[in-house]
Amino acid sequence: MANPEQPQIYLISPPEIELSRFPDQLARVLDAAEIACVRLALATRDEDRLSRAADAVREVAHARDVAIVISEHVLLAERLGLDGVHLTDGARSVRNTRKDLGKDAIVGAFCGASSHDGMTAGELGCDYISFGPVGTTPLGDGTLAEHDLFHWWSQMIEVPVVAEGALDTDIIAKLAPVTDFFGIGEEIWRAEDPVAKLTELTAAFH
């Protein structure tokens, strides 16, 4: 994923999806906006459910030339013909994942608010680093990835960076000059009209 002039959308699936409805919803969103990548981030560990969801989502994404990565499941990424994997344990498994998936796969790492983890993951061959949450959320331990972290990263480090977690238009407007991607997920899926909500959020990119 190359560093764009203005941020791009990195779309994150909801933790639970209804297979009869979600692929259509996703197709509408992908048709309405330019999406750089889709992350399948389901809460379930059930391999059968993950596989069926990944098949459905891959079909929609690849039909539109959009890359798809899966959270954590390195073996499934390969077996199901996905484009890569999103790791959630910082830099810890980057080296092995890169070895397993090869140089062409997308490997990204979520590093919380740790610039040290981010730098290590970048040195080990990550294609992008994700920091968050950037907004207040009951999830996690309350540590926010602050504007300063993104500002420093954008000045010093070439690896593309994703801002995610409890985004709103104010946060997006502040971070837009210093991030490459916004990881948008629950923010739109919880809305009555995901496309309208996404349009509202992306208006703050400029």
pLDDT in tens, 144-196: 999 999 999 999 999 999 999 999 999 999 999 999 999 999 999 999 999 99
Q: How confident is the model at residue 139 (pLDDT cuts 50, 70, 90)?
A: confident
Query: What are the backbone angles phi and psi of residue 3, rounded to the nearest 5°?
Result: -70, 115
User: Structure tokens of 49?
Assistant: 């459910």
Alpha carbons 112 and 202: distance in angstroms, whole number: 23
Position 141 pLDDT exceeds 90: no
Domain assignment present for residue 124? The answer is: yes
Mean pLDDT for the stretch of residues 17-41: 98
Mean pLDDT for the stretch of residues 40-53: 96
Query: Hey, what amino acid is at 22?
Result: F
Domain assignment present for residue 179? The answer is: yes
**For 77-109, how does the pLDDT look when each residue is reduced to its tens digit (9 = 90+)?**
999 999 999 999 999 999 999 999 999 999 999
Domain assignment present for residue 3? The answer is: no
Query: What are the backbone angles phi and psi of residue 10, rounded to the nearest 5°?
Result: -115, 105
Mean pLDDT for the stretch of residues 47-56: 97
Residue 62 to residues 27, 133, 137, 188, 193, Cα–Cα distance (Å): 11, 28, 32, 21, 23
Contact 131, 162 (CB under 8 A): yes
Contact 129, 159 (CB under 8 A): yes
Alpha carbons 40 and 54: distance in angstroms, whole number: 7
Position 55 pLDDT exceeds 80: yes
List the domain range (segments joined by +) for residue 194. 8-205
Domain assignment present for residue 1? The answer is: no
DSSP label of 102: -
Global pTM? 0.96
Query: Which segment of 49-63, 119-133, 136-150, 169-183 scores lowest on mean pLDDT?
Result: 136-150
Position 4 pLDDT exceeds 60: no
For residue 180, give the CATH number of its domain. Answer: 3.20.20.70
Domain assignment present for residue 166? The answer is: yes
**Paired sense of beta strands 106-110 and 128-131, if any:** parallel
Domain assignment present for residue 2? The answer is: no
3-state secondary structure of 24: helix
Domain assignment present for residue 75? The answer is: yes
Domain assignment present for residue 152? The answer is: yes
**Paired sense of beta strands 84-87 and 67-71, if any:** parallel
Position 1 pLDDT exceeds 70: no
Q: How confident is the model at residue 3 (pLDDT cuts 50, 70, 90)?
A: very low
Query: Hey, what amino acid is at 3?
Result: N
Q: Domains in the chain: how many in total?
A: 1
Output the pLDDT for position 142. Answer: 84
Strands annotated E in 112-203: 128-131, 161-164, 181-184
Q: How confident is the model at residue 131 (pLDDT cuts 50, 70, 90)?
A: very high
